[in-house]
Amino acid sequence: MRANPAILITETSGISECLDRLAAQKRSARPLSTYRLQFNANFRFEDARRLAGYLHALGVSHIYSSPVLKAREGSLHGYDITDHNSLNPEVGTYEDFHALVRELKDYGMGQILDFVPNHMSVGLGSNPWWDDVLANGRTSEFAEFFDIDWSPIKAELHNKLLLPILGDQYGAELESGHIRLTLGEQDFHIEYYNKKLPIDPQTIPLIFESVNGELQEVESRTPELRNVLSGLRHLPGHSTTENELVRQRRRAIPPLTAALQQLVHESPGVG
């Protein structure tokens, strides 16, 4: 069947008009003049919203916003992001952010958002992705998110992370009490000054074995503890790259650590 030329012309004209409108919208959305806003705990979304009218009167077409994703606590610049999936609570809520966007739109203004997808803040225990890598090594689901050489020249460092954070030799810092094993509300971790480091769940049984005599007595009264420690002890190692073992470890850790925390907080003997 031959196509009707009139219909083709009409359809083509409609598409052309649509493209012209989109092009006009893009031209109107182009930044003509920008004003840089640095968000942190001292300058929040609400503060920016109150400035929108003033900036519009100055002829600003777009605000140029610093990163607003969740960053290290107290960050003044926002580039040390710890969670790319959340807004920084120090600069406001989602509702505050949407209120700012609506205010800008009311003045015909836009926003250029700065963000950093290629680096994150590590070292203070506030980055869940990095903490998971420290605890689980190559088996972490986030291991490939970071540029880590798992096979460096030194063979003794294979499948390990070398963190240059100590102010003195390891033994000296340990004896001085600067390196401390701590039980928090959710987990065991290492504290070194202002740094908080997770431990490999597979090594948790070693903590209990240091008081072996008491452990045997408690396990006889609390068999659940024996089962949890056995499960942690027999986890696949953090350096395995075999897919099934990696999946097995990832599945096992959450229920085991949750059960341990429950025992620690609810059983006087375990605590």
Average pLDDT over residues 190-200: 92
Query: Per-domain residue ranges for the chain?
Result: 26-113, 128-266
26-113: which CATH topology?
A: Transcription Regulator spoIIAA (3.30.750)
pLDDT at 8: 44
d(CA 151, CA 95): 46
Higher pLDDT, 171 or 122: 171
Contact 114, 211 (CB under 8 A): no
pLDDT at 5: 46
Cβ neighbourhood burial of 70 (10 Å; 0-12, 13-18, 19+): buried
In sequence order, the 6+-apart residues with CB closer than 8 A to the CB of 118 are none
pLDDT at 183: 87
Return the CATH number of 128-266, one of 3.30.1590, 3.30.750, 1.10.150, 1.10.10.
3.30.1590
| Geometric angle at alpha carbon 187, from 173 and 243, rounded to 5° | 100
* pTM score above 0.85: no
d(CA 247, CA 241): 10
The CA-based dihedral angle spanning residues 49, 50, 53, 54, taken in that order and rounded to the nearest 10 degrees: -120
The interaxial angle of helices 243-266 and 223-233, nearest 10 deg, is 150
Contact 55, 109 (CB under 8 A): yes
| pLDDT of 196 over the 80 cut | yes
Closest CA to 132 of 120, 121, 123, 141: 141
